[in-house]
Amino acid sequence: MNFSLDEFNKKISNAESFKQLGEERDKFNEMIQDLHTSIEQIKEINQIHDLFIQRTITLSETTLRGRGFGPPPVSYDFILFGSGGRQEQTLWSDQDNGIVYENPNNEHKEKVKSYFKELAITIEHGLERAGYPPCEGNVISTNPLWNKPLDDWYFKMNEWFEDPHWEHVRYLLILADSRSVYGQGILINKIKTRYFSEVASLSPRILEKMLHNTLRHKILLGVFGHLIKEQYGEEAGGLDIKYGAYIPMVNGIRLLSIEAGLFETSTLERIHKLKLMNLIPERYAAEYEKAFSNIFKLRYRTLYKKENGMYTSNGILKAKQLTKEQREELKSSLKIANKLQKYIKKKIDSSR
């Protein structure tokens, strides 16, 4: 793989329509055929994803202007959740996003609301054209739950913290990974500042809830130290790298980061910061970093396909894609993921 960030930046910024953007996206995915990607390259790929999304938003604003909606009535942050928020997007990531906008005056409230509703619809369409399928879990700015003014975000967030049942805790965990991809990031930072002060006042009870919510994904390691494979279907023998390896590590590190009040969203940055703050022992931090990097690279090797113009994958790594050494390496990474889960459980239980 060999590409220049600047060159792509230029091409993407020059795209004048969603169609052109879609063509650039296809070229981009085509170029990265070699799936043996390094962590550095994955970072660059994520910067390019950001460029695609930013350009989609700019074009959407232009479209709305052309349709007589005018410029954005108040400032806003377009935020990414999930892998986009964590800067861990793959070549087949879907849309997980939301909008937070400045509180409008009462008299303009409905007008502003309808602007952002329209903007969200346009962006969703644009991102689809650029190959990003809509989020299956409906975490997307076209859903009013994820598209509202700052005060409403505060209000909702309060509600989630006050009644932390399973679904609300899920929302809180989603919010923890949020990152502004377009806008100054001031609004999302305000939300997060309040988020962390709520966490601090409600700990450890809220952390326990979050812990239980994230432990349901079982690591792909059996009691005999073997890899747990898919049993049936066309993926039989394959490994569910996404839910059996990647997500458990992401969830574990995220939980420690929420406890620590970190604004960082990328898992590797979070590990680094936790180490600097002496919140995890250095030895552990090195292990986590190594294990996560290995799993993350394997995740990139999952096969994906283009379906209805959008890039998707089932997250399963085929068994024959791995050599014996790679399987052994994966097993040791999974052992560390297991250790991470145990460490977190112990930590949160003992803080009770």
Q: Contact positions toward other proteins, by CB under 8 A?
A: 218, 220, 222-224, 226, 228, 231-237
Nearest-approach distance from CB 338 to other proteins, in angstroms: 13
Asked if residue 147 lies in contact with residue 98, where contact means CB atoms within 8 angstroms, the answer is yes
55, HSE (Cβ side, Cα atoms, 13 Å): 25
Pick the closest to residue 182 from 254, 121, 97, 118 (CA basis): 97
Cα gap 22→131, rounded to integer Å: 7
Backbone angles phi, psi at 150, to 5 degrees: -50, -45
Pick 218 or 305: Cβ nearer other proteins: 218
Pick 231 or 323: Cβ nearer other proteins: 231
The SS3 call for residue 76 is strand
Nearest-approach distance from CB 266 to other proteins, in angstroms: 29
> Beta strand pairing status for 97-101 and 147-149?
parallel
Asked if residue 21 lies in contact with residue 54, where contact means CB atoms within 8 angstroms, the answer is no
Nearest-approach distance from CB 225 to other proteins, in angstroms: 11
Nearest-approach distance from CB 134 to other proteins, in angstroms: 28
Nearest-approach distance from CB 344 to other proteins, in angstroms: 20
Cα 347 to its chain centre, rounded Å, is 25
Residues near 280 by Cβ (< 8 Å), separated by ≥ 6? 256, 271, 274, 288, 343
Nearest-approach distance from CB 221 to other proteins, in angstroms: 9
Pick 122 or 313: Cβ nearer other proteins: 313
Asked if residue 131 lies in contact with residue 306, where contact means CB atoms within 8 angstroms, the answer is yes
The SS3 call for residue 284 is helix
Cα gap 91→151, rounded to integer Å: 35
14, HSE (Cβ side, Cα atoms, 13 Å): 8
Nearest-approach distance from CB 230 to other proteins, in angstroms: 9
Host H or E run for residue 348: helix 324-350
Nearest-approach distance from CB 320 to other proteins, in angstroms: 11
User: Distances from the Cα of 139 to the Cαs of 34, 161, 310, in angstroms?
Assistant: 31, 19, 18
H helices present in 146-202, as ranges: 150-162, 166-176, 186-202
Nearest-approach distance from CB 348 to other proteins, in angstroms: 24
Pick the closest to residue 290 from 276, 273, 271 (CA basis): 271
